[in-house]
Every structure is written in structure tokens, then in C-alpha cells.
Chains A and B, each alone.
Chain A
Amino acid sequence: MVSHDDVIQIARLAKLSIKEDELDALTGEMQNIIDFADTINSAAESGEAFDNINNLSNVFHDDVVIPSYPTEKILENAKDVADDCFLVKKRCD
């Protein structure tokens, strides 16, 4: 059973703010979706171990420094920048 507290906790983990007036509807929707997801637990089999698709294996590159994008290009989309860095509010005193 999904409770208001569950939704608040999950939203906190997902870094989403839930307004008080959204909580009832969202809890109901979450319950319906979880009930739907829960149908997999009616499967008789435990399933096959699955670790990759189409026999893919990890790709490793040589440990060589290659040119990247210029700093000013990377900062172009940020709202607040200073001294070639992304700017955020101070997190501790």
C-alpha cells in the first residue's frame, strides 16, 4: 500500500517537490502503477539471469588525453557562471 509518506520520501530521493494539494492524486496514481508493475510477481518462473543485450561487451579506450570542448562553449548554456565555473549558492559557511 503506497502512503503519503512513501510518496514524500520517494519525491525527496528524486529531488522533486510535491505540493500538499497534489499528494492525494499522486498517491492514488502511484498505487495504480505499482499494482500494475506488481503483476510481474505473479510469474511462476524466477526468470533467466540477464546481464546484457545482443552479447555486447564493455568497450575500453586507450588511456590517452584527447581534446575536449572549450570551456566557454560548455558554459554557454548555464544561467550563472563566474571565473570559468558554474555558479551555485554557497553550501556551507
Chain B
Amino acid sequence: MSEISQIKKINNMLTSKEISCEELTKSYLAQIDKVNGDLNAYVNVTPDIALASAKKVDEKLAKGEDISLLAGVPMTLKDNISTDGIETTCCSNILKGYKPIYNATVWNILKEQDAVLLGKTNMDEFAMGSSCETSCFGGAKNPHSFDHVAGGSSGGVASAVGGNIAAYGLGSDTGGSIRQPASFCGIVGLKPSYGAVSRFGLIAYASSLDQIGPITTNVEDTAIIYDAISQYDEKDSTSQGKKGCSTCEALKKDIKGMKIGIAREYLEGVRDDVKEAIENAVKVYESLGAEIVYFNLPALKFALPVYYILACAEASSNLGRYDGIRYGYKTPTYENVNDMICKTRSEGFGDEVKRRILLGTYVLSAGYYDAYYKKAQNLRGTIVKAFKNAFDSCDVILAPTVPMTAFKVGHAASDPIETYLTDICTVPVNIAGLPAVSLPCGFNPKGMPIGMQLIGNTFCEGTILNAAWSYENKVRDSVFKSPELGVKL
């Protein structure tokens, strides 16, 4: 059986001298050159940095030194992950030209292991959106159909990995921003437990919800990257690192007897083709010996408004730092400091970002704080408790990642509420700080991928990836399909 893990395959190719790292990197750069015009996945390609890293790996191999599994593997980072000296814009006009003076911890970890950074990828502005179309560079396209969006907010990473112009990438997930584009592009995306992966250097959207995680073409690569980046970091006060054993060790265990829960609320309002794919996945799990448990989670009803109140409140505070004084865009003409700050922010931020800042400011203002922010925080406690109770009766919860497949380019923009509703299946996980992995589980009649998510109890990444790998191992050929694009390994 051929190797499914792209990372292991590349490592074998490099260590067996089948290809040099420089040749491999050049083939990825050539394919980026060829297809990025269609995909708009990369907003900043970094060939010099990539080739310098590749040269270092080739030198180590020439000297007969051991290299890490991630050494020489060409990858990408979402454009909100800080990279020392490399422009990091959050795909916002207000940060165009900004070059961080330090690395995010996750990038330091991967760089230490000689990862090859091909460039920074597209995203919704400040990670606020579900289609990647709020990016100031225009949206990333879906590798399965250029007429469809890649999803958001980590649409560029998903487009690049799905289109085979990066072997893997790191995105961030505040309300589904890793899982939703992974679902739309037919690949795998993991939102880790809150605290498992350091956010130091991640440009903040909503700090009580944000997590960094991997986007890959297969479950094993997700486990490899998660194991590498889930380390305690004193620079992130919420950091706890990985708990328990490596997820790679847990990956291939027999899942016979595993209890897989289905919360009925997750299937309400879901399109028929998505529901059918989920029902088929349930049958696969039954055939693998898992026990299916049905239950209700009524607290989910309030998850979406709770998410938007809390996320926007935190965003209104986090984005207060963009004032034109220390970095980023500054308005050219103004009368005084207050006028400069207001004009800079109004000219630099896009419409969706301004909308969310205004909502956040509203729910935190005197007279509205108790009715919105405080109430939402209390309901967050209810949702956390409801999930805790659910995990008394099951090991993993299976749900759709998104109620539909990727929408057509330009379709998402007009009604903010309608767009927010697409996040209905993904936000509860962020509210409760849980881990969840999205993986493909079928296609709609037009050939667009459908995704499902497996949600685990806190720090149970090993359990959900074990369940995900078992499913992939059983049905990979029928639910994973790589488009004819990019690099063929």
C-alpha cells in the first residue's frame, strides 16, 4: 500500500536521495507560479527563504546527519501568524507592509525542525468571515472548482493544501476557521483544545476562542503536526501543551467499542446531501465496531448568538491597538491625534471588521453589558456544562462541519446574518474549548466535498484522531479526492 502521509513520503524521498530538497522546493514554487493566479491561495510567496531552508536540509543530508520528519517539507502559514521580517498583513489594508520583529512560537518550533516556508496564505480580514472574501487581496478559490470559495477564514491554507501547492499548513480557528475551509476543500483540519497550542505571535481576533492548528491532506499528517506544535510555552499565559501520549501513537488503535455520539440538534437545518453523507459515515463507524449513541444538546440553540457577542466583544478590544502610530497604515491627512486614529481605522479596516468592532463595542457599553455580554458569558457556562455531560455517555461526537458545501464566489457577501449562520456547527467547539477535527465524508452531486467533524473532550485529540484515521483507513478512496493540480509526489 502506498504511503498516504505526505510528510512521511517527502521524508522518504529526501533521505533516500530520490530528490534533493532544493529540487522539491523548486517544483512547489513552479506549481505556485502556475496555479496561484487561479487559486489566489498565497498572498506572499517567499522563494528566497524557502530555498535557503532547502539548502540547509540538503547540506545536512550530504553530511549524513539525521533530519527531523518535518525537515524539508514545503509548507505554508496563514497570514495572521507572525514571521520575523516577513510581511504579515492579516489580509487587511491596515497592516499592509507590516513586518513582525519576532516569530510566532509555532513557526519557531517548525523552523527549528527545518520546515520550508513557501509563503503566507490568504484569509478573511483579521479572520472575520466564512468565505475568505473579506480579504483585502480578494478571496482564495476552491481547488475543486474555481467558481467556488475555499471557505474561511483560513481559506488560503486550505486552497494551497487542497491544490497541492503546500504539503501542509497552519491556520487559526476562532469559530470554525480551520474546519470549515478544510471541509469545503475536501481535506483535514484540526482545531486543538484551548491551551494545547501556543498562540504567541498569532494576531489576535478573540482571545478566549482562538487556536492554531494544522490543515493537511490526511489524518496522519494532522497528528504529526499536532504532536510537533502542542508544546507548553511560557509566552502564552493560556498554554498547557499536550496532555497525555502522542496522538500518533493513539492513531491506529482499534475503535471497536468506541462510543460515537450524535447530537440531534447538529442535524437540524442541514442540507439533504450533507445529512446523507453523515448517515453513511455513521454506517462506516458501525461496521468498524463503534457504538452509536443518540442524545439531545438543547444548549446548542444559543451557541451562534453567544459566539458572535463574545467574539465581537473581544475583537473590539483586541483591534483597539491599530491606531496608525506604531505600525501599519496611517492616514495621510488629519487635524489632531483623535482625528488621525479615527481616519486611520476607518480607511484601514474593511466593512466586516468595522461591523464586528461596532457590535462588540455596543454589547460592552453601559446599559447593554448585562443584557448581552454577561448573559452570553453565562450561557457559555451552560454550553460548557452540556458538552461535559454529553461526554459522560460518549467518547466522540460526530456532526457535520458545515450545513452545506462550498458556496459560489460572491454568494456569501450580501446578508451578514445569513453568512454567520454557516458557522452554526463549528462555533460550539470554540465556546467550550474542545478539540475537533474535520475530514471529508463524501461529495455532493456536483462533486464538491462534504466534511464531517469529530468532537472530543478536552485534550482528547488522540481519541478524535484515532476515530478519524480509522474512518479514513476504511473509506479513503471513496471520500478523499485530490484535484488534478499542483505537485504530484
Interface residues of A (CB under 8 A from B): 6-7, 10-11, 13-18, 26, 29-30, 32-34, 36-41, 43, 45-50, 53-54, 56, 58-59, 61, 69, 73-74, 76-80, 86, 88-89, 91
CB of B195 within 8 A of chain A? Answer: yes
Shortest distance from the beta carbon of B388 to any chain A beta carbon, whole Å: 10
Of B1-9, B138-146, B152-160, B342-350, the one with at least 4 CB within 8 A of chain A: B342-350
Residues of A contacting B99 with CB < 8 Å?
76-77
Most chain-A CB neighbours within 10 Å: which of B302, B346, B358, B432?
Answer: B358
Which of B195, B357, B372 is A56 in contact with, Cβ under 8 Å? B195
Q: Is A32 a contact of B416 with CB atoms below 8 Å?
A: yes
Most chain-B CB neighbours within 10 Å: which of A15, A61, A80?
Answer: A15
Closest 5 CB pairs of A and B: A47-B378, A48-B381, A50-B381, A77-B327, A53-B433
Interface residues of B (CB under 8 A from A): 97-99, 101-102, 193-195, 208, 234, 237-238, 240, 302, 305-306, 308-309, 316, 320, 323-328, 330, 334, 336-338, 340-343, 345-346, 349, 354-355, 357-363, 365, 371-372, 375-382, 384-385, 416-417, 420, 432-433, 458-459
Residues of B contacting A30 with CB < 8 Å?
355, 358-359, 362
Q: Is the interface of A mostly helix, strand, loop or mixed?
A: loop
Q: Is B193 a contact of A10 with CB atoms below 8 Å?
A: no
- A53-B384, A88-B337 known; A40 vs B101 contact (CB < 8 Å): no
Shortest distance from the beta carbon of A33 to any chain B beta carbon, whole Å: 5
Shortest distance from the beta carbon of B453 to any chain A beta carbon, whole Å: 19
- A33-B355, A41-B371 known; A54 vs B240 contact (CB < 8 Å): yes
Which of B326, B362, B376, B381 is A78 in contact with, Cβ under 8 Å? B326
In angstroms, Cα B458 to Cα A30, docked, is 35
Residues of B contacting A34 with CB < 8 Å?
359, 362
Q: Is B340 a contact of A88 with CB atoms below 8 Å?
A: yes
Shortest distance from the beta carbon of B163 to any chain A beta carbon, whole Å: 32
Q: Is A15 a contact of B342 with CB atoms below 8 Å?
A: yes
Residues of A contacting B377 with CB < 8 Å?
47, 50
Q: Which chain A residue has the least Cβ–Cβ distance from B368? A: A34
Q: Is B384 a contact of A48 with CB atoms below 8 Å?
A: yes
- A43-B302, A69-B101 known; A14 vs B378 contact (CB < 8 Å): no
**A-B contacts, 11 listed (Cβ < 8 Å):** A29-B355, A32-B416, A34-B362, A37-B309, A37-B359, A43-B302, A49-B378, A53-B195, A74-B101, A89-B336, A91-B336
Which of B325, B357, B416 is A33 in contact with, Cβ under 8 Å? B416
